[in-house]
Structure 1
Amino acid sequence: MAEMDVALKDTMQIDGALGAALVDHTSGMALGTAGGGKDLDLTVAAAGNTDVVRAKLRAMEMLNLMDKVEDILITLDTQYHLIRPLTSRSGKGLFLYLVLNKDRANLAMARHQLRRIERTLDL
Protein backbone atom coordinates (compact mmCIF):
# COMPACT_ATOMS: atom_id res chain seq x y z
CA MET A 1 0.00 0.00 0.00
CA ALA A 2 2.36 2.66 -1.23
CA GLU A 3 -0.34 5.35 -1.09
CA MET A 4 -0.92 4.64 2.59
CA ASP A 5 2.80 4.92 3.31
CA VAL A 6 2.97 8.25 1.48
CA ALA A 7 -0.09 9.56 3.34
CA LEU A 8 1.39 8.56 6.71
CA LYS A 9 4.72 10.15 5.76
CA ASP A 10 2.90 13.35 4.76
CA THR A 11 0.96 13.27 8.03
CA MET A 12 4.22 13.12 9.98
CA GLN A 13 5.31 16.34 8.21
CA ILE A 14 2.56 18.28 10.02
CA ASP A 15 4.12 20.57 12.64
CA GLY A 16 4.13 18.88 16.03
CA ALA A 17 3.29 15.38 14.72
CA LEU A 18 4.31 12.65 17.16
CA GLY A 19 2.61 9.70 15.50
CA ALA A 20 0.03 8.75 12.90
CA ALA A 21 -1.92 5.66 11.93
CA LEU A 22 -4.45 4.47 9.39
CA VAL A 23 -6.97 2.39 11.31
CA ASP A 24 -9.81 0.01 10.46
CA HIS A 25 -12.58 0.95 12.89
CA THR A 26 -14.41 -2.35 12.45
CA SER A 27 -11.49 -4.42 13.73
CA GLY A 28 -9.44 -1.85 15.63
CA MET A 29 -6.33 -2.84 13.72
CA ALA A 30 -3.80 -0.28 12.53
CA LEU A 31 -3.16 -0.89 8.83
CA GLY A 32 -0.09 1.31 8.97
CA THR A 33 1.71 3.56 11.43
CA ALA A 34 4.40 6.23 11.45
CA GLY A 35 6.16 7.79 14.40
CA GLY A 36 5.15 6.86 17.91
CA GLY A 37 7.62 5.21 20.25
CA LYS A 38 7.87 3.76 23.73
CA ASP A 39 5.64 6.50 25.17
CA LEU A 40 3.14 6.31 22.31
CA ASP A 41 2.15 2.80 21.23
CA LEU A 42 0.14 3.52 18.09
CA THR A 43 -1.33 0.02 17.83
CA VAL A 44 -2.79 0.31 21.35
CA ALA A 45 -3.97 3.87 20.64
CA ALA A 46 -5.57 2.75 17.35
CA ALA A 47 -7.53 0.00 19.09
CA GLY A 48 -8.65 2.32 21.89
CA ASN A 49 -9.72 5.10 19.57
CA THR A 50 -11.75 2.63 17.55
CA ASP A 51 -14.10 2.56 20.55
CA VAL A 52 -14.34 6.37 20.41
CA VAL A 53 -15.31 6.28 16.72
CA ARG A 54 -17.84 3.49 17.23
CA ALA A 55 -19.41 5.30 20.19
CA LYS A 56 -19.76 8.54 18.23
CA LEU A 57 -21.27 6.80 15.22
CA ARG A 58 -23.68 4.90 17.48
CA ALA A 59 -24.73 8.14 19.25
CA MET A 60 -25.32 9.86 15.91
CA GLU A 61 -27.43 6.94 14.74
CA MET A 62 -29.54 7.04 17.93
CA LEU A 63 -30.05 10.79 17.42
CA ASN A 64 -30.93 10.27 13.74
CA LEU A 65 -28.17 12.68 12.71
CA MET A 66 -27.43 12.36 9.01
CA ASP A 67 -24.23 14.42 9.16
CA LYS A 68 -20.82 12.87 8.63
CA VAL A 69 -18.15 13.09 11.29
CA GLU A 70 -15.48 15.43 9.94
CA ASP A 71 -13.08 14.82 12.78
CA ILE A 72 -12.95 14.07 16.49
CA LEU A 73 -10.59 16.01 18.73
CA ILE A 74 -9.30 14.79 22.08
CA THR A 75 -7.31 17.40 23.99
CA LEU A 76 -4.85 16.27 26.66
CA ASP A 77 -2.51 18.37 28.80
CA THR A 78 0.37 18.05 26.34
CA GLN A 79 -1.16 16.52 23.21
CA TYR A 80 -3.94 16.78 20.66
CA HIS A 81 -5.36 13.54 19.26
CA LEU A 82 -7.16 13.98 15.94
CA ILE A 83 -9.35 11.26 14.49
CA ARG A 84 -10.52 11.75 10.91
CA PRO A 85 -12.87 9.13 9.42
CA LEU A 86 -12.26 8.66 5.69
CA THR A 87 -15.20 9.61 3.51
CA SER A 88 -14.26 8.05 0.17
CA ARG A 89 -15.92 4.79 -0.86
CA SER A 90 -12.57 3.03 -0.82
CA GLY A 91 -11.82 4.37 2.67
CA LYS A 92 -15.13 3.44 4.26
CA GLY A 93 -14.56 1.99 7.72
CA LEU A 94 -11.11 3.57 8.06
CA PHE A 95 -9.85 6.60 9.94
CA LEU A 96 -6.66 8.62 10.07
CA TYR A 97 -5.33 9.09 13.59
CA LEU A 98 -2.82 11.83 14.38
CA VAL A 99 -1.12 12.67 17.68
CA LEU A 100 0.32 16.17 17.99
CA ASN A 101 2.56 17.87 20.52
CA LYS A 102 0.30 20.62 21.85
CA ASP A 103 3.14 23.13 22.30
CA ARG A 104 4.42 22.76 18.72
CA ALA A 105 1.24 22.21 16.75
CA ASN A 106 -1.14 24.67 15.13
CA LEU A 107 -4.44 22.84 15.52
CA ALA A 108 -6.28 24.70 12.75
CA MET A 109 -3.44 24.10 10.30
CA ALA A 110 -3.14 20.44 11.33
CA ARG A 111 -6.86 19.89 10.69
CA HIS A 112 -6.55 21.58 7.30
CA GLN A 113 -3.52 19.47 6.33
CA LEU A 114 -5.12 16.24 7.53
CA ARG A 115 -8.21 17.03 5.42
CA ARG A 116 -5.97 17.57 2.39
CA ILE A 117 -4.16 14.29 2.99
CA GLU A 118 -7.46 12.43 3.33
CA ARG A 119 -8.66 13.80 -0.02
CA THR A 120 -5.56 12.50 -1.78
CA LEU A 121 -5.73 9.06 -0.17
CA ASP A 122 -7.37 6.47 -2.43
CA LEU A 123 -7.11 2.92 -1.17
Structure 2
Amino acid sequence: MPGIDACLDEAMALPGARGASVVDWTSGLSLGTAGESPGGDAEATAAETAELARAAAEYATFAPEAAVTEAATSEGAATEGAAYEGAASEADKGLPVEDVIVSTRTGYHVLCFVETTFDSSVFIHLWLDGATGNLALARIRMRQLAQRLVLG
Protein backbone atom coordinates (compact mmCIF):
# COMPACT_ATOMS: atom_id res chain seq x y z
CA MET A 1 0.00 0.00 0.00
CA PRO A 2 1.59 3.23 -1.11
CA GLY A 3 2.08 6.30 1.02
CA ILE A 4 1.64 9.83 -0.29
CA ASP A 5 4.98 10.05 -2.12
CA ALA A 6 4.56 6.67 -3.83
CA CYS A 7 0.98 7.58 -4.75
CA LEU A 8 2.13 10.83 -6.36
CA ASP A 9 4.90 9.00 -8.25
CA GLU A 10 2.35 6.53 -9.65
CA ALA A 11 0.00 9.38 -10.62
CA MET A 12 2.83 11.18 -12.43
CA ALA A 13 3.58 8.00 -14.40
CA LEU A 14 0.20 8.28 -16.14
CA PRO A 15 0.31 9.44 -19.78
CA GLY A 16 0.00 13.22 -19.98
CA ALA A 17 0.34 13.85 -16.25
CA ARG A 18 1.54 17.40 -15.60
CA GLY A 19 1.08 17.56 -11.85
CA ALA A 20 -0.43 15.73 -8.91
CA SER A 21 -1.16 16.45 -5.29
CA VAL A 22 -2.85 15.00 -2.23
CA VAL A 23 -5.02 17.63 -0.58
CA ASP A 24 -7.06 17.93 2.60
CA TRP A 25 -10.28 19.59 1.46
CA THR A 26 -11.23 20.76 4.94
CA SER A 27 -8.16 22.94 5.40
CA GLY A 28 -7.19 23.42 1.75
CA LEU A 29 -3.63 22.34 2.53
CA SER A 30 -1.53 20.15 0.29
CA LEU A 31 -0.18 17.00 1.95
CA GLY A 32 2.21 16.41 -0.95
CA THR A 33 2.84 17.49 -4.54
CA ALA A 34 4.67 16.28 -7.63
CA GLY A 35 5.24 17.84 -11.02
CA GLU A 36 3.87 21.23 -12.05
CA SER A 37 1.00 23.26 -10.64
CA PRO A 38 -1.38 25.33 -12.75
CA GLY A 39 -0.28 28.92 -12.32
CA GLY A 40 2.96 27.77 -10.69
CA ASP A 41 1.74 27.89 -7.07
CA ALA A 42 1.07 24.47 -5.49
CA GLU A 43 -0.49 25.91 -2.32
CA ALA A 44 -2.90 28.14 -4.25
CA THR A 45 -3.86 25.17 -6.44
CA ALA A 46 -4.51 23.06 -3.33
CA ALA A 47 -6.73 25.75 -1.79
CA GLU A 48 -8.68 26.29 -5.01
CA THR A 49 -9.24 22.60 -5.74
CA ALA A 50 -10.26 22.09 -2.09
CA GLU A 51 -13.10 24.60 -2.59
CA LEU A 52 -14.34 22.61 -5.59
CA ALA A 53 -14.04 19.28 -3.75
CA ARG A 54 -15.85 20.66 -0.71
CA ALA A 55 -18.72 21.94 -2.86
CA ALA A 56 -19.08 18.61 -4.65
CA ALA A 57 -19.01 16.59 -1.43
CA GLU A 58 -21.27 18.79 0.67
CA TYR A 59 -23.95 20.26 -1.61
CA ALA A 60 -27.08 18.21 -2.24
CA THR A 61 -27.01 19.20 -5.92
CA PHE A 62 -23.89 17.13 -6.47
CA ALA A 63 -24.52 14.45 -3.85
CA PRO A 64 -28.30 13.92 -3.63
CA GLU A 65 -27.84 10.63 -1.76
CA ALA A 66 -26.33 12.53 1.16
CA ALA A 67 -29.34 14.86 1.28
CA VAL A 68 -31.74 11.91 1.22
CA THR A 69 -29.85 10.27 4.09
CA GLU A 70 -29.94 13.48 6.15
CA ALA A 71 -33.66 13.96 5.49
CA ALA A 72 -34.48 10.38 6.42
CA THR A 73 -32.48 10.48 9.64
CA SER A 74 -33.47 13.97 10.77
CA GLU A 75 -37.22 13.55 10.22
CA GLY A 76 -37.34 9.99 11.51
CA ALA A 77 -40.81 9.44 10.03
CA ALA A 78 -41.56 5.77 9.54
CA THR A 79 -43.03 6.21 6.08
CA GLU A 80 -40.26 8.42 4.80
CA GLY A 81 -37.65 6.26 6.50
CA ALA A 82 -39.01 3.23 4.69
CA ALA A 83 -39.18 5.08 1.38
CA TYR A 84 -35.56 6.20 1.61
CA GLU A 85 -34.15 3.10 3.28
CA GLY A 86 -32.43 1.81 0.13
CA ALA A 87 -30.92 5.19 -0.72
CA ALA A 88 -29.74 5.78 2.83
CA SER A 89 -28.01 2.42 3.07
CA GLU A 90 -26.20 3.05 -0.23
CA ALA A 91 -25.07 6.52 0.88
CA ASP A 92 -23.81 5.17 4.20
CA LYS A 93 -21.35 2.91 2.35
CA GLY A 94 -18.97 5.76 1.57
CA LEU A 95 -18.53 9.24 0.26
CA PRO A 96 -21.43 10.48 -1.87
CA VAL A 97 -19.08 11.67 -4.65
CA GLU A 98 -16.42 9.46 -6.24
CA ASP A 99 -14.55 12.04 -8.25
CA VAL A 100 -14.81 15.42 -9.95
CA ILE A 101 -13.57 16.05 -13.47
CA VAL A 102 -13.01 19.54 -14.84
CA SER A 103 -12.11 19.87 -18.50
CA THR A 104 -10.37 22.99 -19.72
CA ARG A 105 -9.23 24.05 -23.18
CA THR A 106 -5.78 22.57 -22.59
CA GLY A 107 -6.33 19.72 -20.16
CA TYR A 108 -8.22 17.97 -17.40
CA HIS A 109 -8.30 18.13 -13.63
CA VAL A 110 -9.33 14.92 -11.89
CA LEU A 111 -10.15 15.11 -8.17
CA CYS A 112 -10.52 11.62 -6.71
CA PHE A 113 -11.79 11.30 -3.15
CA VAL A 114 -9.98 8.97 -0.74
CA GLU A 115 -12.11 6.86 1.60
CA THR A 116 -10.60 5.89 4.93
CA THR A 117 -11.79 4.26 8.14
CA PHE A 118 -11.79 7.65 9.87
CA ASP A 119 -13.70 10.73 8.66
CA SER A 120 -11.63 11.41 5.56
CA SER A 121 -11.43 14.77 3.86
CA VAL A 122 -8.62 13.95 1.47
CA PHE A 123 -8.54 13.77 -2.30
CA ILE A 124 -5.94 13.22 -5.00
CA HIS A 125 -5.71 15.93 -7.68
CA LEU A 126 -4.25 15.02 -11.05
CA TRP A 127 -3.63 17.63 -13.74
CA LEU A 128 -3.55 16.06 -17.22
CA ASP A 129 -2.44 17.51 -20.54
CA GLY A 130 -5.36 17.53 -22.97
CA ALA A 131 -3.33 16.43 -25.99
CA THR A 132 -1.38 13.55 -24.45
CA GLY A 133 -3.50 12.53 -21.46
CA ASN A 134 -5.97 9.67 -21.36
CA LEU A 135 -8.88 10.72 -19.17
CA ALA A 136 -10.50 7.29 -18.97
CA LEU A 137 -7.27 5.58 -17.96
CA ALA A 138 -6.47 8.35 -15.47
CA ARG A 139 -9.86 8.01 -13.80
CA ILE A 140 -9.48 4.24 -13.42
CA ARG A 141 -5.93 4.46 -12.08
CA MET A 142 -6.78 7.33 -9.73
CA ARG A 143 -9.61 5.27 -8.21
CA GLN A 144 -7.15 2.39 -7.68
CA LEU A 145 -4.61 4.74 -6.09
CA ALA A 146 -7.24 6.25 -3.81
CA GLN A 147 -8.25 2.80 -2.60
CA ARG A 148 -4.67 1.80 -1.80
CA LEU A 149 -3.38 5.09 -0.40
CA VAL A 150 -2.17 4.85 3.18
CA LEU A 151 -2.35 8.05 5.19
CA GLY A 152 -0.36 8.39 8.35
Picking from 90, 93, 105, the partner of 1:77 is 105
Report how far residue 91 of structure 1 moved: 7.4
Letter of the 1:21 counterpart: S
| Mapped contact 1:91–1:122 kept (Cα < 8 A) | no
Matched, 1:10 2:38: no
Query: Which ranges of structure 1 fall in alignment gaps of 5 or more residues?
Result: none
Q: Paired residue for 2:87?
A: none
In 1, Cα distance between equivalents of 2:118 and 2:10: 19
Q: Give the percent of matched residue pairs that are identical in Structure 1 and Structure 2.
A: 32
| Mapped contact 1:90–1:122 kept (Cα < 8 A) | no
Report how far residue 59 of structure 1 moved: 1.2
Alignment of 1:29-48 (within 5 A): 29-36=29-36, 39-48=39-48
Report how far residue 57 of structure 1 moved: 2.1
Query: Which ranges of structure 2 fall in alignment gaps of 5 or more residues?
Result: 69-90
Picking from 112, 115, 118, the partner of 2:140 is 112
Report Cα offsets for 1:63-92 as digits up to 9, x if no partner: 415362110000000010000111122571
Q: How many residues matched?
A: 122
In 1, Cα distance between equivalents of 2:54 and 2:38: 27
In 1, Cα distance between equivalents of 2:113 and 2:50: 10
* Alignment TM-score, normalising by the size of structure 1: 0.88
| Mapped contact 2:108–2:129 kept (Cα < 8 A) | yes
